[in-house]
Amino acid sequence: METLTVKAGNVTIGGDSPIVVQTMCNTHTSDVAASVAQCVRLHQAGAELIRLTVPSLAQVESLRQIKEQLRAQGIDTPLVADVHFSSEIAIAVAEVVEKVRINPGNFHKDHEKAREQFARLVEVCKANGTAIRIGLNHGSLGERITGLYGNTPLAMKEAVMEWLNMCVENDFYNVVVSLKASNTFVMVEAYRLLANEMQNTGVVFPLHLGVTEAGNGDGGRIKSAVGISALLSEGIGNTIRVSLTEDPANELPVAQYLSDKYGRRLHSTMSSLTLEGKKAIATYCAPSKERLLLDFSCDFGKRLLDKELDEVVLKGTYLDENGVETVLDDSQYAEYLTDELMQAARRRFYRPEYIACPGCGRTMYNLEGTFEEVKRRTSHLKGMVIGVMGCIVNGPGEMADADWGYVGEGNGKVSIYKGKEPVLRHVPETEAIDRLLELIENQ
Ligand code: SF4
């Protein structure tokens, strides 16, 4: 899809440019040394853009120092400030970084005031050559929009179009857009609607793709690959982030794979495909387990999401970590990968659905370890949607349609949510998983 060209420092997004790979720090931005060290590692791992959270005005100065120290080391990777709930922070930090991500759902609580503040932000961005991402998430749609359109992909598209129209009114086009959701079906539909609408208006902003709160491990990778590849295969998407509840460096090989595959620098290792109605029988000859997982997700995720297929049978071989050829036909591993793919494409739920944020500088507890423990102790709750979120500021909103939520409050305390309501607050972290399990069992 032909798009406008956006410049964030030395990186070009959209136009004819290759798909840009990005990630986000999970350090506290106020810890400048730790943030610089992580940025260096992420740069070395291939990040072309690095985002850091800016929870308060104090971190604007931290970000300035982080940037100065990176530039002093010869690292030019553009930095993106992630801003929620404060238009003043967005305006202040736009002088410091190459790109500012704002969330239309929480930029300003008053809609008219939001327009004024956005115009101020645009002036600062114009003066400093800063790009903006209008980063809307399914979980943080405002009440006004959901009142009009429900909690739907259409509502996401309509909400973001209001902001893109504001960009045009302010004659500002250095803008990237995202419409992330944890639900792959919602995410793909929202981006398709937006791409179509922008083409109709004739002003097509580049798109940042991502499946938000995708979780970790194989499930997080498969879910991300399904959502992102469905769109990239249609020519939709210019920059991507694979969100994993892991070390952010782990996101980059997956994102690079997707960038290479849809930049036509990599081909699937599927060696044959037989179709029997809506059933596909696919044979692979994969050089590794990781490659098999990603090829399989990209080759069939979209077709399952779009209901072109109802079933996939996985056959063939892959090389294990010792280089030994391992047969997939009728194996437990083939069954497991197929189950994960069906779940990621929302066609069959064989385990709970987890919504876990990747963590960022707002996270106040051991998110990765806690998420693993929650997964281990809830694995029997097939079909239930469980959220594990790093902070109380964004977590409750971003959990979207979770049945239960574990949300870090800070200071060693946790809130437990049932749907959108907190049912227990200030639970010590050491007890919180037990309390969550008790509530689920006694409901
Ligand atoms: S929900 Fe997670 S990723 Fe989002 S702001 Fe909070 S800690 Fe960061």
Three-state DSSP state, 75: coil
The pLDDT of residue 399: 86
Nearest residue by C-alpha to atom 7 in ligand 1:
390
Measured by CA distance, the residue closest to atom 8 of ligand 1 is 360
> Which residue carries 């929650």 as its tokens?
374
Do 60 and 82 have their domain in common?
yes
Distance 307 CA to ligand 1 centre (A): 32
Q: Which two tokens stand for residue 441?
A: 């069992």
> Is residue 79 located within the same domain as residue 198?
yes
Which of 392, 398, 415 most suits a substitution to test ligand 1, by most atoms within 8 Å of the C-beta? 398
- The count of other CB atoms within 10 Å of the CB of residue 22 is 27
Domain check: are 179 and 288 in the same one? no
User: Which pLDDT score is estimated for 140?
Assistant: 80
| Residues of the chain falling short of pLDDT 70 | none
336 and 188 part of one domain? no
Output the ligand 1 site: residues, CB below 6 A.
357-360, 362-363, 389-391, 393-395, 398
CA 400–ligand 1 middle distance (angstroms): 13
Residue count of the chain, please give it. 443
Give me 258's structure tokens. Answer: 């997707």
Retrieve residue 330's tokens: 């009728």
Ligand 1 midpoint to CA 359 (Å)? 5
The number of folded domains in the chain is 3
Atom of ligand 1 nearest to the CA of 26: 8
User: 59, 67, 1: which is closest to 28 by C-alpha?
Assistant: 59
Atom in ligand 1 nearest the alpha carbon of residue 360: 8
Last residue of a domain, one of 217, 243, 262: 262
pTM for the whole thing? 0.97
**Looking at ligand 1, which atom is closest to the CA of residue 82?**
5
Q: How far is the CA of 76 from the centre of ligand 1 (A)?
A: 26
Calculate the alpha carbon distances from 27 to 33, 148, 186, 359 in Å: 10, 38, 30, 9
Q: Are 285 and 211 found together in one domain? A: no
What number does the ligand 1 atom closest to the CA of 357 have?
2
Tokens matching residue 420 = 């959108």
Mutation probe of ligand 1 site: the residue of 391, 392, 399, 415 with most atoms within 8 A of C-beta: 391
Q: 165 with 248, same domain?
A: yes
> pLDDT digit string (tens) for 12-51?
999 999 999 999 999 999 999 999 999 999 999 999 999 9
d(CA 179, ligand 1 centre) in Å: 16
Cβ count within 10 A of residue 316: 20
β-pairing verdict for 353-356 and 385-389: parallel
Three-state DSSP state, 436: helix
Residue 408 Cα: closest atom of ligand 1: 7
For ligand 1, atom 1, name the residue with the nearest CA. Answer: 395
SS3 category, 19: coil
Q: Under the phi-then-psi rule, with left for phi > 0, alpha for psi from -120 to 50, and beta for the rest, what region is 419?
A: left
Clarify whether residues 214 and 289 are in a common domain.
no
Give residues with Cβ within 8 angstroms of 85, minimum separation 6.
Answer: 106, 393
Strand partners, 355: 387
Can you give the C-alpha Rg of the chain in angstroms?
A: 21
Amino acid at 149: Y
What's the pLDDT score for residue 178?
Answer: 98
Tell me: do 322 and 398 sit in the same domain: no
Last residue of a domain, one of 218, 235, 262: 262
Best residue among 54, 251, 363, 388 to mutate for probing ligand 1, ranked by most atoms within 8 Å of CB: 363
Phi, psi of 407 (to 5 degrees): -125, 120
Q: Is 328 helix (H, G, I), strand (E, B) or coil?
A: coil
- The residue among 319, 344, 369 that closes a domain is 344
**The pair of three-digit structure tokens given for residue 428, joined into one six-digit string:** 């010590």
What is the whole-number distance in angstroms between the Cα of residue 42 and the centre of ligand 1? 19
pLDDT at position 139 is: 84
Q: How far is the CA of 416 from the centre of ligand 1 (A)?
A: 16
Q: State the distance from the centre of ligand 1 to the C-alpha of 309, rounded, in angstroms.
A: 35
If asked whether residues 186 and 224 sit together in one domain, one would say: yes
Classified as helix, coil or strand, 87 is helix
Give the nearest ligand 1 atom to 391 CA: 6
Do 54 and 171 share a domain, yes or no? yes
| Domain span holding position 420 | 353-442
β-strands 131-137, 99-102 pairing:
parallel
Residue 391 and residue 375 in one domain:
yes
Instruction: Tell me which residue has its CA closest to atom 5 in ligand 1.
Output: 394
* Burial (Cβ within 10 Å: 0-12, 13-18, ≥19) of residue 34: middle
Domain of residue 18, CATH code: 3.20.20.20
Residue type, 320: D
CA of 395 to the centre of ligand 1 (A): 6
Helix (H, G, I), strand (E, B) or coil at 157: helix
The answer on 212 and 177 residing in a single domain is yes
Please state, in angstroms and rounded to a whole number, the distance separating the CA atoms of residues 200 and 178: 18
Nearest CA to ligand 1 atom 4: 394
Q: Which atom of ligand 1 is nearest to the CA of 243?
A: 3
